[in-house]
Amino acid sequence: MLQGKPTWQSRISKSNKRILRKSIAACLVPAFLAACSIPSVLQSTAQSIYVVAVDERPAWTLAQDKQIELSISKNFQDDPLVRNLNIAAYCYNGNAYLVGEYDTAEGAMKAITIATHTEGVKSVTPYLLVKGGTVSCLWGDDLFIYTKVKIKFIGDEVIKSTNININVVQCRVVLLGIVATGDEVSRAIALAQDVSDVIEVKSFLIPTHQEGP
């Protein structure tokens, strides 16, 4: 989907204050000690193991998809026409998604061509908006919307937030990833739509299990 002209996010008692400070300390101190005592490489490994454990894709497929994402990003950086465009690449089961903004149609088409010819890519789905195309979306709005959506996802009991990538382009929320059920897809869309200043929610979420009739 390429879009230019819309075709191509009381007062607190002293005792309560002490409880609050202790609660914060209980959360921060272990995290601080862990950061000091565990080498960063181990932290990174632990995070990777967690991502593999909760991801709906087999570990080998996940690794291949991540390699494709890296390859597309590298190829973008190697191209003078594309490297300065704000386009992010995602890949799920070999299917690539490009999300971001472009200056010219030539630049957008070049990015799509590069992704299409990257080894391992089965298909390319673009969601690209022309820069400055949404006047009502002010500077900083995208970051605000991203943060609010992320917080909602993390606090929700239905969806696994680590399985969903969030990208916000000109106040439009783009959701990507592979989730367990259609209920997760619906819930994620509803939560994103509930955030103020969001113009549109575009979902590329893929459920692995279809509910029966």
- Each residue's pLDDT tens digit, 81-119: 999 999 999 999 999 999 999 999 999 999 999 999 999
30 pLDDT more than 70:
no
Answer whether residue 153 is part of any domain. Answer: yes
Domain CATH number, residue 152: 3.30.1340.30
| Domain carrying residue 160 | 141-209
> Is residue 55 classed as helix, strand or coil in its secondary structure?
coil
Answer whether residue 162 is part of any domain. Answer: yes
Q: What is the pLDDT of residue 160?
A: 87
Q: What is the pLDDT of residue 187?
A: 97
Q: What is the pLDDT of residue 211?
A: 57
Whether the CB-CB separation of 133 and 108 falls below 8 Å is answered with no
Answer whether residue 109 is part of any domain. Answer: no
3-state secondary structure string across 70-115:
HHHHHHHHHCCCCCCCCEEEEEECCEEEEEEEECCHHHHHHHHHHH
Average pLDDT across the chain, whole number: 82
- Total of domains in the chain: 1
Lowest mean per-residue pLDDT among 51-60, 138-147, 167-176: 51-60
d(CA 29, CA 4): 49
Per-residue confidence band for 56, with pLDDT thresholds at 50, 70 and 90? confident
Answer whether residue 106 is part of any domain. Answer: no
48 pLDDT more than 50:
no
Answer whether residue 159 is part of any domain. Answer: yes
Answer whether residue 10 is part of any domain. Answer: no
Answer whether residue 1 is part of any domain. Answer: no
Q: How many CB atoms within 10 Å of residue 175?
A: 21
Answer whether residue 145 is part of any domain. Answer: yes
d(CA 98, CA 111): 8
